[in-house]
Chain A
Amino acid sequence: MSERRIGVYICYCGGNISDYVDCERVRDEVAGEDGVVIAKTTMFACSDAAQQEIIDDINTRELDAIVVASCSPTLHLQTFRGVAERAGLNPYQYVQVNLREQCSWAHTDLPVLATDKAVGMTRAGIAKAWYTEPLEKTRIDTVPRALVVGAGITGLRAALALSDLGISAFVIEQEERVGGWVGGFGKMYPHDRIGNELIAQLVREIDARDNITVYTSAELVGKSGSIGDFSVTLAVAGERISLSVGAIIVATGFDVYQPAAGEHGYGSDRVLTLPEFKELLDDSEGPLEHHGRLVRSITYIYCVGDRCEDNGHTYCSRYCCNAVMHASLVAHERSPSVHQYHLYRDIRTYGKYETLFQQARQRGSVFIKFDASEPPRVDLDNGSCRVTVKDILTEGKELALDTDLVVLVTAMEPRDNRALNDVLKLPVGLDGFFLEIHPKLRPVETVIDGVFIAGTAQAPRNSAESVASALAATAKSAALLKKGYVELEPLIATVDPDLCIWCDECVSACLYGSIEKVRFQDKEVAEVNQAICKGSGACVPACPEGAIQLRGSTDQQIRAMIEALGSINV
């Protein structure tokens, strides 16, 4: 590289830096560095006036790189890239040095040494700036279509919302019918809405749309391409269908924990799981009967299959306290004299659902808390069924309940999505559910750009919460697809095909599956898919030939920075 023209700005941060670091000394010591044509201190580099001053300097002094030694890049990297851009300088020729978090705030008791360190850090920034090159973002035109995997209430509602926004939706369902769990339900909490009627309503609306296609008995078997422009292959009743979509919403739902034979008496016709009990309620009318016998008493055992270490289901399934309260209210409505006993560990009828708990107590349901280390025992003998439990509120008195029916309030489980995930490669949490990037700030996005998650595929939740997440995933898909294109950061890995020997090391180092094998002249080499690479740099040290460079943090830049840091005597 021939001579550079670098501008350096040392920020006081209104005292946050200058109270501990002698900014004038830093300026004086770096002003003579190779390539530096201007070095200044400033009260607030981020202020409008200071930004304008930098822009003026870039223009009048013909700067080709700038360094601002101020705060964390998290706060102002984009600010100063914007400054560069407004001055006609490539934004990737801007370097930020974090003097505040990494120096002044960390060394408030050592002002002289802090100033020495600040000099070294700023020199390192200048050394990095010396080797910056203009970089351009990659632009990808997006396809205004989305694939929804799973046609339960979450997937169907997402498809309708996509259609509303003018995005064509393809919905695939592995079962022969759409509707998922909700499609099989009768009355649901909290308002007694009928599950299968909700699904029928969604299906009617979907049938009336031209831009929604639903495939049943269908699976996703292939995916290539990247955010905004995926090619997916479906297997639909033995046939292969190829589609091009811009985004994918994964709404594959949950499974119900299936108790082992004998677990709390499961296997006996007196013992049902919650879904089986709901089916009993939904498929009959009038006073509640089971196998032709009037049900006079029901004992519910909560938290079966979750909140335990043994099977890895350490989570709370969230929907079940509410669902069982509601089921017990329906049972009471049908048989007002039925005796109902709820054997629970904790009651979690959160938010608005608390009233379900109140109503259940008001209508005679008796609540008996047990300790997880002493779960209730179910004894079956000659057609009789006795549940024994210790009641914490009568000082651990052991109670014997002769009951007609035992309902095991069974957990939600993650589905076995292995085949699907061979294609999608989404991260899965320790609990087995798909993992979002950030539970609060990016709740429906995954590390695979353009692939979103919604509903109970992600975590235990009820149908209302699932639909809310379906709409969130739709909004994120639309934000991506309605713009018409995506711009991708250029700070990614690149392979020098002359050096590459295709040893495969980088492929296993990459967490995102961004490295592909291509032909280069007469050999096979690695190539980085620009749209998938996140610039993590994991492949760089894995390469035995040194054939991979990370743009913006090249080996040359890192070496120059280390040498610059080594130039100070501390």
Chain B
Amino acid sequence: MAASQVDMEFAEAVTTSDEFNAWACLNCGICSAVCPLAIDLMPRKLFRYAILGLKDEVLEETDTIFQCLLCKLCEENCTSNVHIVENVRFLRSYIGDEVFGLDTGRGREEHHAAAHR
């Protein structure tokens, strides 16, 4: 298996917002355990991919990222207070802009700020 390239710029693009705090994740797995859709990926692995800058791995999971109900069960139960839902929203907007070319007309920061109003 070829090594996965760490893309530092991608990591920076998807992690450097004030709200992104997946660094606090301890990978305990409670989030996966309580997910009503039993999404194994979410959000533990997804955030790890984002932090490591594994762009291909993140984008491969685009469908899964949009399946999430944003029900916040994971966030409620997170022992490390990771802002899971905001982070998922943020990734959605990033993918919308960068992959689907939706051009929401909002910059990354602005988009992000809107998600928290």
A358 to B108, CA, bound (A): 26
Return the contact of A361 from the options B1, B4, B24, B57 (Cβ within 8 A).
B24
Is A339 in contact with B3, judged by CB distance below 8 angstroms?
no
B89 within 8 A of A: no
In the complex where A361-B23, A393-B27, A394-B49 touch, is A400 in contact with B6 (Cβ < 8 A)? yes
A338-368 with Cβ < 8 A to chain B = 339, 341, 361-362, 364-366, 368
Return the contact of A391 from the options B11, B21, B52 (Cβ within 8 A).
B52
Q: Which residues of A contact B6 (CB under 8 A)?
A: 341, 399-402
Is B23 in contact with A362, judged by CB distance below 8 angstroms?
yes
Is B51 in contact with A366, judged by CB distance below 8 angstroms?
yes
A140 to B34, CA, bound (A): 74
A400 to B15, CA, bound (A): 19
A191 to B51, CA, bound (A): 28
A388 within 8 A of B: yes
Return the contact of A339 from the options B11, B21, B27 (Cβ within 8 A).
B11
A268 within 8 A of B: no
State how many angstroms separate the Cβ of A110 from the closest Cβ of chain B.
56
A323 to B6, CA, bound (A): 26
- Scoring A residues 387 to 406 as 1 if CB is less than 8 Å from chain B, else 0, what string do you get? 01001011001111110000
B34-74 with Cβ < 8 A to chain A = 45, 48-49, 51-52, 54, 57
Return the contact of B4 from the options A393, A398, A402 (Cβ within 8 A).
A398
Is A394 in contact with B45, judged by CB distance below 8 angstroms?
yes
Q: Interface size of B by Cβ–Cβ distance < 8 Å?
A: 22
Is A364 in contact with B15, judged by CB distance below 8 angstroms?
yes
- Scoring A residues 514 to 549 as 1 if CB is less than 8 Å from chain B, else 0, what string do you get? 000000000000000000000000000000000000
Q: Which residues of B contact A397 (CB under 8 A)?
A: 4, 54
A365 to B23, CA, bound (A): 8
A469-514 with Cβ < 8 A to chain B = none
Q: Which residues of A contact B54 (CB under 8 A)?
A: 394, 397, 399
A362 to B51, CA, bound (A): 12
B104 within 8 A of A: no
Q: Which residues of B contact A361 (CB under 8 A)?
A: 23-24
Return the contact of A297 from the options B2, B8, B15, B23 (Cβ within 8 A).
B8
State how many angstroms separate the Cβ of B60 from the closest Cβ of chain A.
13
Is A364 in contact with B23, judged by CB distance below 8 angstroms?
yes
In the complex where A393-B27, A394-B45 touch, is A399 in contact with B52 (Cβ < 8 A)? yes
- Interface bracket on A: 20 to 34
Q: Which residues of A contact B51 (CB under 8 A)?
A: 366
In the complex where A337-B12, A339-B11, A339-B12 touch, is A394 in contact with B5 (Cβ < 8 A)? no
A391 to B49, CA, bound (A): 11
State how many angstroms separate the Cβ of B109 from the closest Cβ of chain A.
16
Counting residue pairs across A and B whose Cβ atoms lie within 8 Å, the total is: 50
* Least CB separation from A368: chain B residue: B52
Q: Which residues of A contact B57 (CB under 8 A)?
A: 394
* Least CB separation from B27: chain A residue: A393
Return the contact of A398 from the options B1, B8, B11, B27 (Cβ within 8 A).
B1
B16 within 8 A of A: yes
Q: Which residues of B contact A337 (CB under 8 A)?
A: 12
State how many angstroms separate the Cβ of A385 from the closest Cβ of chain B.
13
State how many angstroms separate the Cβ of B50 from the closest Cβ of chain A.
11
Is A400 in contact with B5, judged by CB distance below 8 angstroms?
yes
A192 to B48, CA, bound (A): 31
* Least CB separation from B8: chain A residue: A339
Q: Which residues of B contact A368 (CB under 8 A)?
A: 52
A118 to B23, CA, bound (A): 68
State how many angstroms separate the Cβ of B30 from the closest Cβ of chain A.
15
State how many angstroms separate the Cβ of B54 from the closest Cβ of chain A.
8
Q: Which residues of A contact B52 (CB under 8 A)?
A: 366, 368, 391, 394, 399
A339-B11, A361-B23, A398-B2 are known; give 20 further A-B pairs, CB within 8 A.
A297-B8, A337-B12, A339-B12, A341-B6, A361-B24, A362-B21, A362-B24, A364-B16, A366-B11, A366-B51, A368-B52, A391-B52, A394-B45, A394-B52, A399-B3, A399-B52, A399-B54, A400-B3, A402-B5, A402-B6
For the complex of A and B, 7 pairs with smallest distance between CB atoms: A400-B3, A398-B3, A361-B23, A339-B8, A401-B6, A393-B27, A400-B5
A-B contact pairs, 8 of them (CB 8 A): A341-B6, A361-B23, A366-B51, A391-B48, A394-B45, A394-B54, A399-B3, A402-B5
